[in-house]
Structure 1
Amino acid sequence: MLTRTLLCASTLLAFSLPALAAPLATLYKDPQCGCCEDWAKHMSRNKLPLHTAPATDMTALKDKLQVPANLRSCHTATIGGYVFEGHVPADLVQKVLRDKPAIRGLAVAGMPQGSPGMETGVKQAYQVIAFDAQGRQSRYASR
């Protein structure tokens, strides 16, 4: 009986561990936006699946999440306690989740061509900006 109980407990634990290790990830977007879905696919291909939550008042959501007005884009994601605004590349999201810097999140302002989810054949240079809860901003990466 003890062996059976231990086997059941270890099986339950094995199935629970991957769920516990994955950060809670939600993509907030306008239901009509297609590039947001393309960004979500980019994230999923990079082992960062997102739960999509349609949002009609994105301005209020971005205000609540402390996204600076000059960094706003079409969609906002929350992953592992951080905010990711716009078309932030998955490798930089993974770096933030791994390194846990003292920032509120990362943003790619606007919708630069060639950024993840905006692959149109044209490639614009763009900045990935780190921001904190006090509104301070700094360049995190250039692409």
Structure 2
Amino acid sequence: MTAPPRLLRALPPEDRDRLMTLAREVSFGQGERVFEERGRADRFWIIRSGTVRLDLRLGGRRPTAVSSLDTGDLLGWSWLFPPYEWDFGAEALSPVRAYEFGGAEVQALCDGDPVFGYRLLRVVTEILASRVRSERTRLLDLFAPHAGQG
């Protein structure tokens, strides 16, 4: 049996159970777009299996890969903050199964119980901070050898 996703592991059991009452199981086929950059962000997912690539459109015909997310990862956070638009696009690199959560329903749950809302937001923020640190390290590894050359 696999460990529960990081977001769910980090929440106290009663919070996890409350959040999961809003979950619905969804799937995406390999190559299917989950969402498009600058599209309306009104939901998020916890990946149960598979891999999703985050990408940006940089002027070419195909989006440029930025990062990938795997089993247990949180996909989507733009539903939390105005203007509620995706900062990236997302595509399933393999068949993906996920729990999907409606942003408005989760926000209503958080508004109705600020303690729950604080705990959820704190966990989401910790996940995002960890990703920023990982990407910073990756970019330093990629570009630091070339620094000062030119």
What TM-score range do you get, normalising by the shorter chain? under 0.3
TM-score in terms of structure 2 length: 0.24
Question: With CA pairs under 8 Å and 6+ residues apart, which has the higher RCO, 1 or 2?
Answer: 2
Q: Which has the larger radius of gyration?
A: 1
Normalised by the length of structure 1, the TM-score is: 0.25
